[in-house]
A and B are shown apart, each in its own frame.
Chain A
Amino acid sequence: MNSTPKPRLRKRPQIIRWHWRLGLLTIPLALWLVLSGLILNHSNWLELDQRTVGLQWVLDAYRIPQPQLQTFVHDQLWISDVEEAWYLNQARIGGELSTLRGIWPLQSGLALIGERHLAWLDNTGALLELAGSEALPGRILQVGEHTGQLLVRSEHGLFLADAEVLSWHPLPDPPSSNPYPDTHFNWQQGTTSTPQEIKQALIHSWRQHQLHWERVLLDLHAGRVWGPIGSFLATLGSLGLLLLCLSGLWMWWQRR
C-alpha cells in the first residue's frame, strides 16, 4: 500500500535549504547592523555625542563647509572669531558666543567685545570673566576708541567704558556743535593676515566640532553613508533577519 508523504514533510528540506542560504547571505548585513546597533546602544557611555570627528576625509564626505574667520591682533596674541566661536591663538574661549567686534587692551589684560558677549583675559591669556548681553549697553555693532577710552557703537548709541569694563556711559556731546566725524573713532576691523598655521588649525577645529561620532554611526547603521544603495542594503539586512526568525520559528514548530 503506497502512502503519499505528508506535504509538510516534503517542504521541510526545502525550507531548511532556503533558511541556510538566507542565513549566509544575511551574515555580513546582520553583522553590520548588529555591531553598529550595539555601539549606538551604548553611545552615552562611550560619549559618542561628544567625541568629534577629526578625520579630514570624513568631514569632506559630509561636506562640512569652510567657516568664516576674522582675527584681531594685539602683542602677538591672535584673537579669532570662527563662526561665533572665539579663540586666543589656537585655544578656544568659552562656548558658542556671538560675532566678535573688537578687542581692547586693559591695564591687566585684554577685553574682547562681541555683539552680545564680553570676555576679559589676563596678561597670560587666562579667562577672568565671560559675560553675556547684561554686561553691554545693548547689541554691539562696532568697537572703537575715543580719547584713549574704549568706545562702542551699540543699537542704543555710542558708549564709553570705564577702566574695568564694568559700566558704560553715553558719549558726551562734542565740544563744538559739529558731530564727531565717523573716522574720529578708529573703528576696529579684523585683519586678514592671520598666520597660516593658526588659520588652518582654527578652521579644522571648527569643522571637527560640527560632526560627532554618534551621527556618523547613526548614518552607518541606517546605511545612509553609502547613499540610496546603503539604505536599500540596510533594509534588505533587516528583512533578511526577520525572515530568518520566521523560517526558524516555522521549522521549530514543525519539529515539535
Chain B
Amino acid sequence: MRLLWLALFLLFCSSLIQAESVYLSPEDFLSQTFGENVPAAQAFWFTKAHREAATRILGHAPAGARLRYWQENGRSVWIMDEIGKEYPITFGVVVNQQAIEQVRVLIYRESRGWEIRSAAFARQFLQAHLAAEQKLDRQIDGITGATLSVRAMQNVTRLALYLDQQINVATR
C-alpha cells in the first residue's frame, strides 16, 4: 500500500513538473541580435484594426493591448508567446526589411513537438515575406506530431511581419 501511495505521489509530482526547456533566454536573444548595445524597448499599442488583423492571424485575440519590441536600423525584434497545444512557446523573431531574418524557439514548454526548434526547420522561414491575407509567401513543411507547434511558429512569424509593417507605416 505504501508503495502505491509513493507511486501516486511520484506520478503527481511528475504531473506538476511542467517541462520547460530554455534554449536561449530572451535577453540573450536580444544581445545576439543587437550586440552589447540593445536599443531601448518600445511599445506597440494595438488599435481596433490591429487587433482584428492579429486575431485573424493567430486565430484568437492577442493577449494584452500592447507588445514591446526593439528596433534599430530597419530591424525589429519581437518576442512573443503562443500556445502550441497546451502551454505557451516563447518565440524570438527578427524582421529585417520586412522579411524574416531569424526565428527561434527560445522557451519550449510542451511535451511534444520540440522538433520545431531545429535550425533546419527554422531555415524554411528565412527571407519569408507577407503575402496576401497576411499569409507567408511560401509553404512551410510540417512535422508529424508537431502540427500545432508548427502552426504556432507560422502564426507568430506572420504576426511579427504584420507588426513590423505597421511600425514602418507609422514612422513613414
A residues whose Cβ falls under 8 Å from a Cβ of B:
49-50, 62-64, 94-96, 120, 122, 126-135, 138, 164, 166-167, 210, 215, 224, 227-228
Contacts and interface: CB of A to CB of B under 8 A. Distances in A.
Contact of A62 (B4, B12, B25, B63): B12
Interface in B8-57: 8-9, 12, 15-16, 18, 25-27, 29-30, 40-43
Given A132-B90, A227-B4, A228-B4, A210 B65 contact: no
Contacts, number: 72
B87 A130 contact: no
B65 A129 contact: yes
15 contacts: A49-B86, A120-B64, A120-B66, A127-B65, A128-B66, A129-B67, A131-B68, A132-B107, A133-B26, A134-B26, A135-B41, A135-B68, A138-B27, A166-B68, A228-B1
B68 A62 contact: no
Contact of B40 (A63, A166, A224): A166
**Interface class of chain B by DSSP:** mixed
Interface of B: 1, 4-5, 8-9, 12, 15-16, 18, 25-27, 29-30, 40-43, 63-68, 79, 81, 86-88, 90, 107, 109
A132 B81 contact: yes
A94 B81 CA distance: 11
Nearest to A138: B27
Nearest to A136: B27
A138 B42 CA distance: 18
B26 A132 contact: yes
Which 7 residue pairs across A and B have the least CB separation, nearest first?
A134-B26, A129-B64, A128-B65, A129-B66, A167-B40, A127-B64, A134-B79
Contacts of B63: 94, 127, 130
B43 A164 contact: yes
Contacts of A126: 65
Nearest to B79: A134
B43 A96 contact: no
A134 B81 CA distance: 12
Contacts of B67: 129
Contacts of A120: 64, 66
